[in-house]
Amino acid sequence: MLSTAVETDTATTELRRGAARLVTMPISQRRQLLRDCLAGVQQHWRRWCELSWEAKRIPNGDPARSEDPMSAVVPTLRYLHLMDQTLSDLEQYGEPQLPGKPYEVAGQLCVPTFPTHSLYDRLLFGPIKAQVRLAAGAGEDSLFGNNPQRASGKANDEPTVCLVLGAGNVSSIPITDTLTKIFQENQAVLLKMNPVNEYVGPVFEQAFDALIQADLLRVAYGGADVGAALIASPEVDCVHITGSDRTHDAIVWGADPQEQAERKAANTPLLEKPITSELGNVSPWIIVPGEYTPQQLRFQAQHIVASVTTNASFVCIATKMLITSRDWPQREQFLGLIEEYLAKVPQRYAYYPGAADRFARFADVQPSDREELPWTLRRNVDPEQLPHLFEEESFVCVFGETALEATSASEFLSSAVEFANERMWGTLSAALTVPPEFQKSKSNELNDAIGRLRYGIVGINLWPGVAFALMSTPWGAYPGSTPQDIQSGSGSVHNTYLLDKPEKTVISAPIKYAPKPVWFATHQRPESVGQALVDLYLKPSIWRIPPVLFNALLG
């Protein structure tokens, strides 16, 4: 624990020494570090989950106990495996071996990134697919830029120490941000834990001890004052934050609102170091009107409910606004199904600071219990009457529904894309539910809509949050924000195929598929699936697949 200026100076000096070795570290040593980290997670992952369950007050037998194995441990293990495979590819071929051939859509290059070459991906997540659209002008001869050289220790990078200001909600975020900085960007990391989940910091120090011994990682604790001191340290070269745009602006432009405004106008930031960020979103889910079967409506309703209730809704990509067509005949039926499934999900302990006050502001009602807040859908909200539901991320279990006027599905989709882009805050993620017939007959219109959406992750019939767990896909905001108007942030993490200049990840699935996704609140065996997935990724074997499939099918 870094508790004094002397200890911080010692840590950053050691990290700079590690960074000097990292920039020329051969692939063989990098792969050994990854394998050592896998061994460390194997030894300590149960304690990681136990501490999380205790902090979130999730009792034995509660289906919510599946969340930390699946949202914290499994994504971290996936990153370690996938990055090891990428480094193996660099040794053999000089560049990552993609799972499919890039192709062009509406003038943009699309690169398949999921399922990966892994047999496990294809067996366990077969219906789910992901492609990455690269920035305009990217060609097949420039898919990776200088990223393979950097990941191989051959890029002549300057030794760099990065301060990672960790997220306080999903505990895989700070560690996978850290791993991305070390293994892909050649930066030694000073990881500052968020006070909300700093209890997992000592587990990270044990599980990732190989990185600490190599002087590539140090872990710090404390409040905003500690963070400010670390940011100001002359030995810290750059900063990465997962948090809110308000925290970002306080760091870059100053905490005082008047100072912020003056500095923004004069373009004189308080922070002159490079900063990357992921800052949340008022996440829209667009429902394209059409004729859906009852089973399709129920499946998509469960998807939306899962996107709201996961991690007690303390997720930066929890759905915050449904966008529907006012004249869609199935609109009321669909909203009723969402409320029906919400009613079946037990209320959760609201562990994130300030949740009850935010609930009162966004639900417009004082909660009867400030520790367990009710899932709340506000129907037919007007952006003119309730602008904060569209312009501010609530980070609590309240979401809205707004209806647009349209004479056809095509007109609605075009209007909904414009509405999401222009009226809703953030550029991180958006989702669309699309009738199968529209996908077939209007594929060009759908592709055009996807291209127009200014979001870093777009889900088709699928919660975009799934893309976070895949790790082979880039995770970050749509590029192009400015420091003065940062929106959902800048830069990206994960991206284990080392793609250069990603614009957006498009993740898709059929309108309904089996087995039932384990993140659905109605799944009957989520903890068993989570345990089986951890076992599989700890010791990959074809013989560890049947327990995953067996428990998934019984869900």
**What residue type is assigned to position 6 of the chain?**
V
Alpha-carbon distance of 467 to 458, in angstroms, equals: 9
Whether the pTM exceeds 0.95: the reply is: yes
8 compared with 80, residue with greater pLDDT = 80
pLDDT(405) > 70: yes
44 falls within a domain: yes
DSSP string, 461-527: SS-THHHHHH-SSEEEPPTT-BTTB-TTEE-EEE-TT--SSEEEEEEE--SS-SSPPTTSTT-S-HH
Confidence label for 549 from pLDDT (cuts 50, 70 and 90): confident
Residue after which a domain boundary falls, among 187, 219, 243: 243
Contacts of 215 (CB under 8 A, 6+ apart): 14, 15, 17, 18, 19, 21, 188
* Residues 172 and 306 occupy one common structural domain: no
pLDDT(6) > 70: no
DSSP 212: H
128 falls within a domain: no
420 falls within a domain: yes
* Residues 500 and 528 occupy one common structural domain: no
CB hemisphere CA count around 178 (13 angstroms): 30
Alpha-carbon distance of 205 to 174, in angstroms, equals: 12
Residue ranges making up the domain that contains 88: 5-96+146-243
pLDDT(2) > 70: no
C-alpha dihedral sign at 401, 404, 406, 411? negative
- HEC letters along 133-195: EECCCCCHHHCCCCHHHHHHCCCCCCCEEEEEECCCCCCHHHHHHHHHHHHCCCEEEEEECCC
Alpha-carbon distance of 179 to 176, in angstroms, equals: 5
Residue after which a domain boundary falls, among 194, 211, 243: 243
* 59-110 tens-digit pLDDT: 999 999 999 999 999 999 999 999 999 999 999 999 999 999 999 998 899 9
269 falls within a domain: no
What CATH number does the domain containing 323 carry?
3.40.309.10
528 falls within a domain: yes
Strand-strand pairing, 457-460 and 108-114: unpaired
Q: Which of 340, 283, 331 is nearest to 522 (CA)?
A: 340
* Residues 503 and 546 occupy one common structural domain: no
Alpha-carbon distance of 242 to 281, in angstroms, equals: 12
pLDDT(387) > 70: yes
CB hemisphere CA count around 277 (13 angstroms): 27
Residue-averaged pLDDT of the chain:
95
pLDDT(548) > 90: no
**What residue type is assigned to position 329 of the chain?**
P
* Residues 401 and 455 occupy one common structural domain: yes
* Residues 363 and 414 occupy one common structural domain: yes
What CATH number does the domain containing 78 carry?
3.40.605.10
| CB atoms inside a 10 Å sphere around CB 142 | 12
SS3 328: coil
Say how far residue 180 (Cα) sits from the centre of its chain. 13
DSSP 96: -
Confidence label for 1 from pLDDT (cuts 50, 70 and 90): low
* Residues 73 and 197 occupy one common structural domain: yes
Q: Which two tokens stand for residue 257?
A: 């609102």
pLDDT score at 3: 53
Strand-strand pairing, 489-490 and 275-278: antiparallel
Torsion of CA 68, 73, 78, 79, to 10 degrees: 110
Alpha-carbon distance of 521 to 299, in angstroms, equals: 11
Alpha-carbon distance of 221 to 226, in angstroms, equals: 7
* Residues 209 and 87 occupy one common structural domain: yes
Alpha-carbon distance of 218 to 215, in angstroms, equals: 8
Pair 407, 392: CB distance under 8 Å: no
Please confirm whether the linkage preceding 515 is cis (ω < 30° from 0). yes
DSSP string, 216-248: SEEEE---HHHHHHHHH-TT--EEEEES-HHHH
> Residue for token digits 């074809």?
542
CB hemisphere CA count around 69 (13 angstroms): 21
* 477-522 tens-digit pLDDT: 999 999 999 999 999 999 999 999 999 999 999 999 988 989 998 8
493 falls within a domain: yes
Residues 306, 311, 312, CA angle at the centre, nearest 5°? Answer: 85
Confidence label for 551 from pLDDT (cuts 50, 70 and 90): confident
Q: Which two tokens stand for residue 315?
A: 């997720």
* Residues 530 and 413 occupy one common structural domain: no
Number of domains in the chain: 3
* Residues 239 and 343 occupy one common structural domain: no
233 falls within a domain: yes
pLDDT(443) > 60: yes
Q: Which two tokens stand for residue 188?
A: 């030694």
The residue-averaged pLDDT of 51-58 equals: 97
Residues 315, 276, 506, CA angle at the centre, nearest 5°? Answer: 55
pLDDT score at 4: 58
**What residue type is assigned to position 336 of the chain?**
G
* Residues 181 and 85 occupy one common structural domain: yes
Say how far residue 51 (Cα) sits from the centre of its chain. 22
473 falls within a domain: yes
Contacts of 504 (CB under 8 A, 6+ apart): 132, 133, 450, 453, 455, 456, 457, 458, 478
Contacts of 485 (CB under 8 A, 6+ apart): none
**What residue type is assigned to position 398 of the chain?**
V
* Residues 436 and 345 occupy one common structural domain: yes
* 292-348 tens-digit pLDDT: 999 999 999 999 999 999 999 999 999 999 999 999 999 999 999 999 999 999 999
Confidence label for 395 from pLDDT (cuts 50, 70 and 90): very high
- Give the neighbor-by-neighbor strand order of the sheet with 489-490: 217-220, 187-192, 160-165, 238-242, 275-278, 489-490
Residue after which a domain boundary falls, among 220, 243, 266: 243
pLDDT score at 5: 62
pLDDT score at 7: 78
SS3 329: coil
* Residues 189 and 91 occupy one common structural domain: yes
